[in-house]
Amino acid sequence: MPHYHYRAIDNKGKLSSGIITAEETTVAKQQLRDQGLTLLQLKVHSSSSGFKRLSVKRRLKPKEVLLFTRQLHSFYEANIAVKQAIEAIISHNKLDSLRSHCQQLIQYLNEGQSLSKALQNCQAGFDELYIAQIQAGEKSGKMAQVLEALARHQEEQITQNHKIRMASLYPSILCFVAFAIVGLLLSTVMPKLIHQLEGKSEIPLLSQIMIKLSEFSQDYGLLVIVALVILIIAKKLFFSHQRWRSKIASQLPIFRELIRRNDASRYLSTIAVLYRAGIPLAEAVSSSASLIKHPAYKQHLLTGQQQLKTGQRLTEFLQDSDLLSPNSLLLISNGEQSGRLGQMLEKAAKEEKQELNNSIDIALAILEPALISLVGIIVFLIVLAILLPLMQMNALVS
C-alpha cells in the first residue's frame, strides 16, 4: 500500500504535514477530509535509495532517543499536542533516521493509535522500559514528568556505557597489539629458528610447543582470521538481541552479580516512576517485571500483581525474589510504613545503581593489570622458547 506525504491546514488554521497510507490518491484525500484538514499538497512518499535508505531504516541510537525525549518533553511542558510536537521535531532536526521514524509515528497517530502504541509499532529502538513509562504517563496525565524521568535515566545509561567503553579501550588496544606481536613472532621468527634447529636431537619442550604453534599459524592462520570475522558478523546478525546476550552472561559467575544489580536498579526506578505517576502499585510491579533480564528473578516477579492484590506487602514479595540487597529492602519497608514509598523506591534504585557502578569500577580496575600480566607472560614464553635452543647451541659450541 503506497504512502503519501501531505501538507494541509487544520480547523484552527495551523499548517500540518505528515505521511498517510491509502490504496490510492482519492482515498488519501478522503481520509484527510475526514480528519478536518484542508489539503494543500499531496504526493507519493518514496524513500531514498543507496546509503541514505540504509541510514533511514536503522534503529535510533541511544543519543538520538535521548534527543527525541528531551524535545518531546519540552513540547509537552509547553502544552503542545503530541502530533504537533512530533511534526516540530521533524522540522527542527536534520537526522534522517529520526525524521523518518517521527514521520512513521505521525502515520500511526493519524490512524488513531496512542503514542505508546505508535512507539511500539515503529520499532525505532524504544525499549520496553521506555514504552511502559510512556503508557503510564498517558494513563495518569503526567507525561511531562515521565519524559523528564526517562531523559534522566537515558543520560545515566549513556554516561555509564561511555565510561565502560573508555575504560576498556586501552586493554582492547593492548590485546590487539599483543596478538599482532605474537602472530609476527610465530610467523617470522619461529620459522627461522626451526630452520636452525633442523637435525638437532634435543629441543626444549617449550620450544617444541611454540614450533607446533608456528606451524599451525602458517597453515591455518588465514582460516582462523576468516573464521573470527564470520563469528563477529554472525554475532551482529543473530546475537544482537539483548535477550541472547543476557542469557549467555547470566551463566557466567563474573557477570551474574552485575546483572542482578542492574536489574534491581532498573526495576525499582521503573516502579517508582509508574507509582508516582498514579499507576496502582500492583500494576506497576507487574509491568516493571518485563524489564528483568535474569530468568530466575523474572519468573517470580511476574506474579507480583496477583500476590500484592491478595494483601502481601511489597517488601515481603521483593524479599522472596532475592533480587534486592538487604539495605534496599529496608528502605522500601520504611517507605511503606511512612507513606513515602515513591521516594524510598527512588532512593533504593539509586543505591543499587551506585553499587553497580562501584562493581564495574572494580572489575575494570582488575581487568587492565590482569590483561597486561597475561600478555607479558605470553610474550615472555615465546621469547624464552626462542632463547633456550640458542643458549643450548652456544653451550655445545663452547
Angle separating helix axes 143-184 and 253-276, nearest 10 degrees: 160
Handedness of CA 133, 139, 140, 144 (dihedral sign): positive
Quick one: pLDDT at residue 203?
Answer: 75
Contact by Cβ (8 Å): 328, 269: no
Quick one: pLDDT at residue 70?
Answer: 92
The model's confidence at residue 248, banded by pLDDT at 50, 70 and 90, is: low
Q: What is the C-alpha separation between 345 and 267, in angstroms, rounded?
A: 10
Q: What is the C-alpha separation between 213 and 223, in angstroms, rounded?
A: 14
The model's confidence at residue 1, banded by pLDDT at 50, 70 and 90, is: low
Map residue 87 onto helix, strand or coil.
helix
Domains defined along the chain, listed by start: 3-140 (1.20.81.30), 141-398 (1.20.81.30)
The pLDDT tens digits of the residues spanning 343-388 come to 898 899 888 888 888 887 887 778 778 877 887 888 788 778 777 7
Quick one: pLDDT at residue 45?
Answer: 60
Is 0.95 topped by the overall pTM? no
The model's confidence at residue 276, banded by pLDDT at 50, 70 and 90, is: confident
pLDDT at 330 over 90: yes
Quick one: pLDDT at residue 242?
Answer: 52
pLDDT at 245 over 60: no
Residue 42 host element (H or E)? strand 38-44
pLDDT at 237 over 50: yes
What mean pLDDT is predicted for residues 138-153?
A: 82
Quick one: pLDDT at residue 54?
Answer: 37
CA 88 from centroid of its chain's CA atoms? 27
The pLDDT tens digits of the residues spanning 153-165 come to 788 778 877 876 7
Residue 83 amino acid letter: K
CA 186 from centroid of its chain's CA atoms? 38
Q: Is 180 or 4 the better-scoring residue by pLDDT?
A: 180
Contact by Cβ (8 Å): 64, 151: no
Quick one: pLDDT at residue 252?
Answer: 60
- Taking every pair of Cα atoms in the chain, the longest distance, rounded to a whole number of angstroms, is 104
What mean pLDDT is predicted for residues 202-219?
A: 78
The model's confidence at residue 334, banded by pLDDT at 50, 70 and 90, is: very high
**Cell numbers standing for residue 248:** 549467555
Residue 19 host element (H or E)? strand 15-21
Q: What is the C-alpha separation between 244 and 302, in angstroms, rounded?
A: 20
Contact by Cβ (8 Å): 151, 130: no
What mean pLDDT is predicted for residues 156-180?
A: 77
The pLDDT tens digits of the residues spanning 40-90 come to 777 776 544 343 333 445 788 888 899 999 999 998 888 888 888 888 888
Q: What is the C-alpha separation between 218 and 189, in angstroms, rounded?
A: 12
Residues 6 or more apart in contact with residue 352 via CB below 8 angstroms:
261, 264, 265, 268, 324, 325, 328
Q: What is the C-alpha separation between 279 and 276, in angstroms, rounded?
A: 7
The pLDDT tens digits of the residues spanning 183-210 come to 777 777 777 766 766 666 577 788 778 7
Map residue 356 onto helix, strand or coil.
helix
CB atoms within 10 A of CB 45: 16
Handedness of CA 292, 294, 295, 301 (dihedral sign): negative
Q: Phi, psi (5° rounding) for residue 389?
A: -65, -35
Quick one: pLDDT at residue 382?
Answer: 79
Residues 6 or more apart in contact with residue 117 via CB below 8 angstroms:
108
pLDDT at 305 over 60: yes
Q: What is the C-alpha separation between 116 and 110, in angstroms, rounded?
A: 14
**Cell numbers standing for residue 331:** 528502605
Quick one: pLDDT at residue 236?
Answer: 66
Q: What is the mean pLDDT of the chain?
A: 78
Residues 6 or more apart in contact with residue 208 via CB below 8 angstroms:
none
Quick one: pLDDT at residue 333?
Answer: 92
Nearest alpha-carbon partner for 60 in 72, 49, 69: 69
